[in-house]
Amino acid sequence: MTEQLNRITVHGTPVVPGIAYGPAIWPSSRPELVTDAPALDEADREAAVDAFVAAAKAVENRLLGRAAEATGAAAEVLQANAAMAADRGWIGAAKKSIAGGVPPVQAAIAATEQFVVLFTKVGGLMAERVTDLEDIRDRVIAELSGLPEPGVPMPETPSVLCADDLAPADTAGLDATKIIGLVTIYGGPTSHTAIIARQLGIPCIVAAKELESISAGIPILIDGTTGDVIAEPDPGHARELVEQSRIDRERVSTWTGPGQTADGRPVDVLANVQDGAGARAAASTAAGGIGLFRTELCFLGRETEPTVDEQAAIYAEVLEAFAGKKVIIRTLDAGSDKPLKFANHQEEANPALGVRGVRIAWQDMGILNRQLDAIAAAAASTNSSPWVMAPMIATPAEAKCFADAVRARDLVPGVMVEIPAAALLADQILEHVEFLSIGTNDLAQYTMAADRMSSELADLTDPWQPAVLALVARTAQAGQAAGKRVGVCGEAAADPLLACVLAGLGVSSLSCAAASVAGVGAKVGSVTMAQCEAAAAAVLATGDPVAARKAAADAIS
Ligand code: PEP
Ligand code: MG
């Protein structure tokens, strides 16, 4: 695509695949944030408090009204934002400063700043809520100042919405026939913009830092697979790409498996699940099995360890949903971003590098042994033979120790490759286990020394990082040499184009969220193994994710 089009003006992080072509539009401007203003007279303060409360209430009611008209995720985000407008802490902070003489607009600015600092400090998902809170502030200020509500215009012609970032109140009421794509300067893969775009099924790119250079009205082409935003492309070629993307979507909606390339080379497409309900939902897709059952997610709220019987009942539900098919159960990956009260024993300065995952077992084999007993009981009661793998394996000796415990229960042992050390010694690890599953989320975190929860470091933890893919290649080669299966179960496997690259690197299965199964299966089914291999070789010759995506797209198209 890149060679035939005029120029790529901007690049961002792609979050929802697809192509959109139309004029760029930008939301109407937000109120100016004036922080200096004379103090209120004593006599005016009570009325000012009332005016602030009334403005916040008006904003809350408007958002609730829109929530009532919306459905699904859109309704949920609007309700959550309405709750933010009614937040006692935020309103209380503003009321307190108004009572002290600060005018309502400045009080709203100060109260918001106070919470923004707090959210940013907490980081992760909380930090991504900063945009939502600032949106509430702007709406309340507009209300107080008698200005029109800030937000997204409703265009006559189908347009691509460009923005700094989008708050739920902007995105939740969007009409996908009028707003055909989204691009934002800020935001991450879990921001509301991405959630709503996924729900609307429109292509979306976030963190497009140079987007400001695109003015309203300019025709743009966005590619939600590569992250490219191209200003004023050749119109004929742009329309062809849009049509191709429509055909791709149709192919996805009719994909029924099995996972294989266009020339019939099998590549299993499996689902990641977290409990029985998730497994049953995944069973309604064309997933060929379960590639990752994250058992720790069943027990996040638990104060005490679930009994063997309790665990066995949960695992049996998952096995029953995929009776007769491959199911890979991962033993507890407690710690770091998924702390379990009954498993994590102490505060650690750096939990991602601490006693997490299988490392807990090295201090006390009890929890692991009881979990393996439960898995064995579930396997017996459902007459199935699950594969069982450990997270966070770092050495061949650890793999052996885990495999011995699994084999002692007649189960099939494997390990995850999430630590570069495990990828580098994959051949030795394979002497002890039957299969490997690469967790690209953690493998990227540890290879790039970048916290996977940090949206600021999203460029580094991008699974398209060639260094991460070089470790995947090495692991897959070790699997082929040993005649054992190597899958990928991190987010990388959910990206259809990257899935083709992974297949070309020699990976034998791809496991992703159930919602991504058809997209991945259809894409892999549309290309030959030779194309996948060419894409893989091209990607390994690049030095960054932008070049890697382009190399893969060029090799496959
Ligand atoms: C991974 O690290 O890629 C993985 C699949 O495990 P989790 O995301 O649960 O840490
Ligand atoms: Mg992991």
Q: Is the pLDDT of residue 263 over 90?
A: yes
What is the band of 5 on the pLDDT scale with cuts at 50, 70, 90? very low
What is the band of 72 on the pLDDT scale with cuts at 50, 70, 90? confident
374 and 229 housed in the same domain: no
What is the band of 6 on the pLDDT scale with cuts at 50, 70, 90? very low
End-to-end CA distance of the chain: 8
511 contacts 493 by C-beta, under 8 angstroms: yes
Which ligand lies nearest the alpha carbon of 393? 2
More confident call, 188 vs 134: 134
240 and 120 housed in the same domain: no
Q: Is 489 a catalytic residue?
A: yes
The CA 527 to ligand 1 mean position distance, Å, reads 27
* Cis peptide upstream of residue 351 (ω within 30 degrees of 0): no
Q: What is the mean pLDDT of residues 23-34?
A: 88
Give me the residue label for tokens 């990607």: 539
Task: Please report the pLDDT score of residue 213 as a whole number.
Answer: 92
Contacts of 409 (CB under 8 A, 6+ apart): 372, 373, 375, 376
Of 2-6, 150-154, 299-303, 360-364, highest mean pLDDT:
360-364
What is the distance between the alpha carbons of residues 477 and 438, in angstroms, rounded to a whole number?
13
Residue 356: inside a domain, yes or no? yes
The CA 438 to ligand 1 mean position distance, Å, reads 9
The CA 266 to ligand 1 mean position distance, Å, reads 24
Nearest by Cα to 140 from 91, 173, 77: 91
Nearest by Cα to 442 from 457, 455, 452, 456: 452
229 and 263 housed in the same domain: no
What is the band of 148 on the pLDDT scale with cuts at 50, 70, 90? confident
Atom of ligand 1 nearest to the CA of 336: 10
Residue 463: inside a domain, yes or no? yes
The CA 392 to ligand 1 mean position distance, Å, reads 9
What is the distance between the alpha carbons of residues 530 and 89, in angstroms, rounded to a whole number?
59
What is the distance between the alpha carbons of residues 468 and 445, in angstroms, rounded to a whole number?
9
Which ligand lies nearest the alpha carbon of 440? 1
**Proportion of the chain above pLDDT 70, given as a percent:** 97
209 and 259 housed in the same domain: no
Q: Is the pLDDT of residue 500 over 90?
A: yes
331 and 385 housed in the same domain: yes
55 and 199 housed in the same domain: no
Which ligand lies nearest the alpha carbon of 338? 1
Task: Please report the pLDDT score of residue 17 as a whole number.
Answer: 85
Task: Please report the pLDDT score of residue 190 as a whole number.
Answer: 67
Query: Which is catalytic among the residues 162, 204, 298, 489?
Result: 489
Is the CB of residue 440 below 6 angstroms from any atom belonging to ligand 1?
Answer: yes
61 and 182 housed in the same domain: no
235 and 259 housed in the same domain: no
More confident call, 514 vs 480: 480
Atom of ligand 1 nearest to the CA of 294: 9
Where a domain ends, among 121, 145, 169?
Answer: 145
Task: Please report the pLDDT score of residue 8 as a whole number.
Answer: 63
315 and 285 housed in the same domain: yes
Atom of ligand 1 nearest to the CA of 391: 6
pLDDT tens, position by position, 201-242 = 899 999 898 999 999 999 999 999 889 999 999 999 999 999
67 and 161 housed in the same domain: no
Residue 454: inside a domain, yes or no? yes
Q: Structure pTM?
A: 0.70
Residue 438: inside a domain, yes or no? yes
What is the band of 7 on the pLDDT scale with cuts at 50, 70, 90? low
Is the CB of residue 442 below 6 angstroms from any atom belonging to ligand 1?
Answer: yes
Q: Is 162 a catalytic residue?
A: no
Give me the residue label for tokens 């459905």: 71
496-505 and 466-482 helices cross at what angle (nearest 10)?
40
Contacts of 435 (CB under 8 A, 6+ apart): 328, 387, 389, 412, 414, 479, 484, 485, 486, 487
Where a domain ends, among 215, 250, 285?
Answer: 250
CATH assignment of the domain containing 215: 3.50.30.10
Is the CB of residue 441 below 6 angstroms from any atom belonging to ligand 1?
Answer: yes
Lowest mean pLDDT among 38-47, 181-190, 425-434: 181-190
Q: Parallel, antiparallel, or unpaired for β 159-163 and 509-513?
A: unpaired
CATH assignment of the domain containing 90: 1.10.274.10
Q: Is the pLDDT of residue 126 over 80?
A: no
What is the band of 471 on the pLDDT scale with cuts at 50, 70, 90? very high
The H or E element spanning position 372 is: helix 366-382
Residues spanned by the domain of 104: 42-145
pLDDT tens, position by position, 351-393 = 899 999 999 999 889 999 999 999 999 999 999 999 999 999 9
24 contacts 162 by C-beta, under 8 angstroms: yes
The CA 293 to ligand 1 mean position distance, Å, reads 11
Residue 185: inside a domain, yes or no? yes
Task: Please report the pLDDT score of residue 378 as a whole number.
Answer: 98
Residue 195's alpha-carbon distances to 192, 462, 477, 513, in angstroms, are 5, 18, 36, 14
What is the distance between the alpha carbons of residues 303 and 308, in angstroms, rounded to a whole number?
16
Q: Take residue 463 and report the two structure tokens written for it.
A: 């699974």
Is the CB of residue 291 below 6 angstroms from any atom belonging to ligand 1?
Answer: no
Task: Please report the pLDDT score of residue 4 as a whole number.
Answer: 41
Length of the chain: 557
Q: Burial letters for 501-529: b for 16+ Cβ neighbours within 10 Å, e otherwise?
A: bbbbbbbbbbbbbbebbbbbbbbbbbbbb
Angle at 212 between CA 208 and CA 215, to 5 degrees: 120
Task: Please report the pLDDT score of residue 1 as a whole number.
Answer: 44
Q: Is 270 helix (H, G, I), strand (E, B) or coil?
A: strand
Q: What is the 3-state secondary structure (H, E, C) of 88-140?
A: HHHHHHHHHHHHCCCCHHHHHHHHHHHHHHHHHHHCHHHHHCHHHHHHHHHHH
Average pLDDT, the chain: 91
Mutational pocket test of ligand 1: of 441, 447, 451, 510, the residue with most ligand atoms within 8 Å of the beta carbon = 441
What is the distance between the alpha carbons of residues 208 and 16, in angstroms, rounded to a whole number?
14
Nearest by Cα to 84 from 31, 124, 140, 147: 140
Residue 33: inside a domain, yes or no? no
What is the band of 492 on the pLDDT scale with cuts at 50, 70, 90? very high
Edge-to-edge strand order for the sheet containing 219-223? 10-11, 228-231, 219-223, 19-25, 159-163, 179-184, 204-206, 13-16
188 contacts 13 by C-beta, under 8 angstroms: yes
Q: Take residue 391 and report the two structure tokens written for it.
A: 């997270």
Task: Please report the pLDDT score of residue 168 as a whole number.
Answer: 67
Where a domain ends, among 92, 115, 145?
Answer: 145
Q: Count of domains in the chain?
A: 3
CATH assignment of the domain containing 488: 3.20.20.60
Residue 235: inside a domain, yes or no? yes
Burial class (CB in 10 A: 0-12, 13-18, 19+), 86: middle
442 and 332 housed in the same domain: yes
Residue 34: inside a domain, yes or no? no
381 and 421 housed in the same domain: yes
**Position 273: which residue type?**
V
Contacts of 228 (CB under 8 A, 6+ apart): 1, 2, 8, 10, 11, 221, 222
